[in-house]
Structure 1
């Protein structure tokens, strides 16, 4: 997995250099410190899918180019068979499966996300990114924290929120939680 992280980071750095986008411009666009962005770009820290989505917008490329190095080819439709989406294992507790990586000019990025349970003693890491997000719970129970609000979402529940707000997700009941996530810029 570490090699994949470095490959994605290298593609991001290379495209940013080609497009003459400064490190400061990119980090400002993402609303993160230049130091944090540089850790992403060096492959020292894994880039969250939501941040990678925003990077792809800034660079003017499909997210799948950053993930796989290949350009999407489908203009009218793309079919993703069960379990066949492009895997994006961004962090230990989160696994993303891109469901439309081969479609050109997407207005949103759909993912199946699996959140693994983590020990009670480990802290909750929040995330934020520009845009909006829709989550529909497929399996398990998920605690979703948005700003100062906590929600327990069960199978069949959904939430739509401003993803610019700090948010975090925790699988409950010592079982993984799976949900459909649609991220819109």
Structure 2
């Protein structure tokens, strides 16, 4: 996981240097705090998918270019066979498997997200990003916090929400959570 985070940080720095921008300009343009951006670029901190998506959308580059160092090439269709999507472990608790990494100019980013259970007392990490999000629970149970409301979603449940609202989640019942997340 640490090596993957460092590689993403290097790609963020490289993008900034190619665009000849300062850290302050990227943070401002992407509506991020300077601290969040500089920590992400350092490679010593977890980097949220929502932060990467803000940067990718603002500078019109593929999310996969930042996450995986690969550019999508397909424009008609892209098949992801079971268990083969490009994946990244942001932390020991979160794994994102991209289901459309090879499709260029797509309007949504679908992932299978695997979340390992954490200490019940550990606070939920919150984020927000432009657009909308759809989550469908494949296995386990999720505590989803959206703008002050706590919702419990179980296998087979789904939710569609405005992802500009602060939101965060965690696995419940000391079991692994797997869900389909589509970020639009």
* TM-score of the two chains, using structure 1 as the length reference: 0.94
Q: For 1:26-41, what aligned pairs fall within 5 Å after superposition? A: 26-41=26-41
Aligned to 2:135: 135
In structure 1, distance between residues paired with 2:31 and 2:108? 20
Gap regions ≥5 residues in structure 1: none
Q: For 1:63-142, what aligned pairs fall within 5 Å after superposition? A: 63-142=63-142
CA deviations 1:102-159 (Å, max 9, x no partner) are: 1111111000011111111222221112221110111111110001111111111111
Moved more, 15-24 or 110-119: 15-24
Gap regions ≥5 residues in structure 2: none
Q: RMSD across aligned C-alpha pairs, in angstroms?
A: 1.3
Q: For 1:38-57, what aligned pairs fall within 5 Å after superposition? A: 38-57=38-57
Aligned to 1:156: 156
* Residues 142 and 172, structure 2, Cα contact 8 Å, conserved in 1: yes
In structure 1, distance between residues paired with 2:165 and 2:95? 21
* Residues 4 and 88, structure 2, Cα contact 8 Å, conserved in 1: no
How much does 1:99 deviate? 0.5
Q: How many residue pairs end up in the alignment?
A: 184
Aligned to 1:171: 171
How much does 1:28 deviate? 2.3
CA deviations 1:69-104 (Å, max 9, x no partner) are: 221111111100111111121122211101000111
Moved over 4 A (4+): none
In structure 1, distance between residues paired with 2:13 and 2:141? 37
* Residues 74 and 104, structure 2, Cα contact 8 Å, conserved in 1: yes
CA deviations 1:2-31 (Å, max 9, x no partner) are: 122111111111112211333223212333
Aligned to 1:145: 145
* Residues 16 and 59, structure 1, Cα contact 8 Å, conserved in 2: no
